[in-house]
Structures are given as structure tokens and as C-alpha cells.
Amino acid sequence: PPAERPASLPGVFVGGDAVPYELVGVISPYNFPLLLGLIDAVPALAAGCAVLVKPSEVTPRFIEPLMRLVPDGLPLQVVEGDGRTGAALVDLVDAVVFTGSVETGQAVARAAARVFVPAFLELGGKDPAIVLAGADLDRAAAAILWGGTANAGQSCQSIERVYVAREAHDEFLALLAGKAAQVGLTCEGGPIGPIIRPDGAEKIAAQLADAVARGAIVHTGGTIERHGGGHWCRPTVLSGADHSMLVMTEETFGPVLPVMAVDGPDEAVALADDSRYGLSAAVFAAPEEQAMAVAARLRAGAISVNDASLTALVHEGEKHSFRRSGLGGSRMGDASIARFLRRRAFLVNRSDAADPWWHPTKE
């Protein structure tokens, strides 16, 4: 809390402290189950809260080894269960944090409103990358490939659509497809893991079928494969994409990079902002001033400049999600802890004189 200071009224001083929420509930998703189970829990603990975590029932295997490591006395508990358990959790806590889909996030927000507790929501994304003429195309292709396919694209900050200046489009597309063709699956020794949920594989397949039916061209990947009982999708590069296709407008959550040619920065920004999401984005341009000018026009909470998906690795930058990608305080930077604290003010009058606004009374 700030040091005590004089108020605007003579003789009055303002101080204060910070009061943590007693119990914070965390409802975490199936992707990155350990990381996203703790990314809100640890700051809440640092703020002085007790924390109750309800991870996704799809990926619960980390719970038992995690709880073996939790020291006695640390007010952290993890419970298993499905959506009904998450709904019950909201009724028990003093603040709730949810990471997941927009639709479920809206349900959590409604439930939190009914019991009058704050809800911090980190929801979906459809992150765009913009590549302008003059950018380092080889660097842009390498960064966007990683940003769109790390963890098989199952990250909220994954690059899911790419807008390239028309004069650079063909060269960039060739570089991106060439690099993507060299990236294999983990079952072959490569870095691309399986699709976590069967319905996720179905969604990817449906979006690819829709794109091809509407004229998109598949340069790499493009199919769901089965290996060892799991579903896999190789890095998929599409060209000829446009906003009539689901793959350009709805969250994919897979290693798919649709590329669209644009006529300059204005069209790129207009298309990038043509979305219900506003989580993050990326801009590649030279000089840097041009990239920053474009970044400042995007309606998204974090913009990687001449790189992609840096929010996965750089946690110092405080940010808010725009549009339906989230609600509430930043989970990055100092605000990641401060959002779990309520400010309390102490207003101390050290004057012996009567306040002039008091009701006049006879002695």
C-alpha cells in the first residue's frame, strides 16, 4: 500500500492497506493442465488468498503428483470433477478465475454474478499475424510457424490466421510451407503432439473441409491422422483463405495456418480486427516504427512485434483481453497479484477543529 499522505482537506490524512480475497476458485482448462492450473493459483497465494483449483476432467493426471509436492500449511487444494463441480465451486468462493471457451466463460460469469463475486475470465482467441512488405520474411515464416503449431496449436495465444502484403505473399507462402513440411509429429521424433480431445480433431477436420470447399489450397498437412490410438494433425498451411471460411473466423485450436493476401496495412488491420476475439496478435514489418504503428491500431491485448506468441514466454507485460477474449485484471506483471487484493482506505482527521460541514448545534 502507498505511504500515508495528506488529503485535499486540511488536517485529513489518507492511508490504507490491501485485503486479499479469502478463497479464490480457479477453474482451469485441459491444455497445459499444470501450467494453467497454477498460473492464477500462485499469484493468488502470493496475495495471501487460499486457493481451490478445479482442473479439467479431461487431463487430471497431474493432480496427484502435484499435491505430493504441496507443503503442509500452504492453503492450496485441488479437486477433481466435471462442469457440475466447477458450478458448485463458484458458490463457495470469494472470487473465481476461469480459463477456457467464451461460451463456458459466459456461464461462469453469470454464476458469479448471481452470488456477487468477481470473475476473472481468460477466454478464446483467433490471433492474427500481419506480415507487411519489407519484413524479414524468413524470420516471419519461422516465428509464425512456431506460434501457430506449438503444442499442436492448442494454445489460446496461437497464431490462427495470417495476412500478408500481396507483393510479399508468394515468397512468404513458399517459405512457410517449406518450413512446415519439415516439422514432424512427436511419435516420429518431431515437436508436434497429438490433438488432446477427439472432438477437437473433429472440429479441425470440419474447418479444413469447409475451407477446401470454399477454394482454399492445402500446401502441407490437411488431414487428421491416427497413430497409437491418438489423433494427430501435421502443420497445415493453407492459401487462398478468406473470411467466408470457418478457419479464418472461428477458433481452430489446431496446427493450422491459413494465409490471405492483403492490399497493405489498412486492409490487414481491418481484417485482423474483424473478429469477436481480441486476445493477442503479431506484426512483422521493417522499420520497427511501421510495425508499431500497425500494432497500435489492433484491438488486442498483447501484440508481438517481429515475433509471434511472445505472451507464452514473456510474463512481465500487463495486458487485458479485448472483446470476448476475456474480462478482468491482467494475469501478467504486478497486476497478476494485485487483482486478488481489495484496497482499503483509512481517512484520518488529525484536526481538533470542528468540520465546517457538520450540522450546527448549540453547545
pLDDT tens digit sequence for 74-104: 999 999 999 999 999 999 999 999 999 999 9
Helix (H) or strand (E) holding 291: helix 288-295
Question: Can you point out the beta strands (E) in the chain?
Answer: 5-6, 12-20, 23-27, 50-54, 76-78, 95-99, 119-122, 127-131, 159-165, 217-220, 224-227, 230-233, 236-239, 256-262, 277-278, 280-284, 302-305, 322-323, 326-327, 341-349
Q: What is the pLDDT of residues 211-248, one digit of tens each?
A: 999 999 999 999 999 999 999 999 999 999 999 999 99
Distances in whole angstroms, Cα of residue 73 to Cα of each of 45, 48, 50, 70, 92: 12, 13, 11, 9, 21
108-122: pLDDT as tens digits: 999 999 999 999 999
pLDDT for 259:
98
pLDDT at 131 over 80: yes
β pairing state of 236-239 and 12-20:
unpaired
β-pair partners for 78: 53
Per-residue confidence band for 195, with pLDDT thresholds at 50, 70 and 90: very high
Supply the pLDDT for residue 293. Answer: 98
CA atoms within 13 A on the CB side of 277: 27
Residue 127 CA: distances (Å) to CA of 158, 204, 274, 304: 6, 16, 11, 11
Q: Is the pLDDT of residue 277 over 90?
A: yes
CATH superfamily of 127-312: Aldehyde Dehydrogenase; Chain A, domain 2 (3.40.309.10)
Domain boundaries, given as residue ranges, for the chain: 22-123+324-339, 127-312
Under the banding of pLDDT at 50, 70 and 90, the label for residue 289 is very high
- The pLDDT of 62-67, averaged and rounded, is 94
At residue 362 the predicted structure's pLDDT band, cuts being 50, 70 and 90, is confident
Task: Quote the pLDDT of residue 208.
Answer: 98
Instruction: Kindly indicate the confidence band of residue 363, based on its pLDDT and cuts at 50, 70 and 90.
Output: confident
- Whether 22-123+324-339 and 127-312 share one fold: the answer is no
Q: Which residues are catalytic?
A: 122
pLDDT number for residue 352: 92
The reported pLDDT for the residue numbered 37 is: 93
* Model confidence at 354: pLDDT above 80: yes
Q: Does domain 22-123+324-339 have CATH number 3.40.605.10?
A: yes
pLDDT of residue 49: 98
Please confirm whether the linkage preceding 360 is cis (ω < 30° from 0).
no
Dist. CA 276–CA 76, nearest whole Å:
35
Q: What is the pLDDT of residue 262?
A: 98
Give the pLDDT band of residue 2 (cuts 50, 70, 90): confident
Length of the chain: 363
* C-alpha cell recorded at residue 158: 496461437
CA 309 to chain centre: 10
Are β-strands 224-227 and 230-233 bridged in parallel, bridged antiparallel, or unpaired?
antiparallel
Cα angle 343, 345, 350; round to 5 = 165
What does pTM read for this prediction? Answer: 0.94
**129: number of CA atoms within 13 Å, CB side?**
35
Q: What is the per-residue pLDDT across 137-166, written as a single tens digit (0 to 9) for each?
A: 999 999 999 999 999 999 999 999 999 999
Q: How far is it, in rounded angstroms, from Cα 347 to Cα 343? A: 13
Say what the pLDDT of residue 77 is: 96
Q: Which helix (H) or strand (E) holds 109?
A: helix 102-115
Residue-level pLDDT at 160: 98
- Which residue type, as a one-letter code, is found at position 64? E
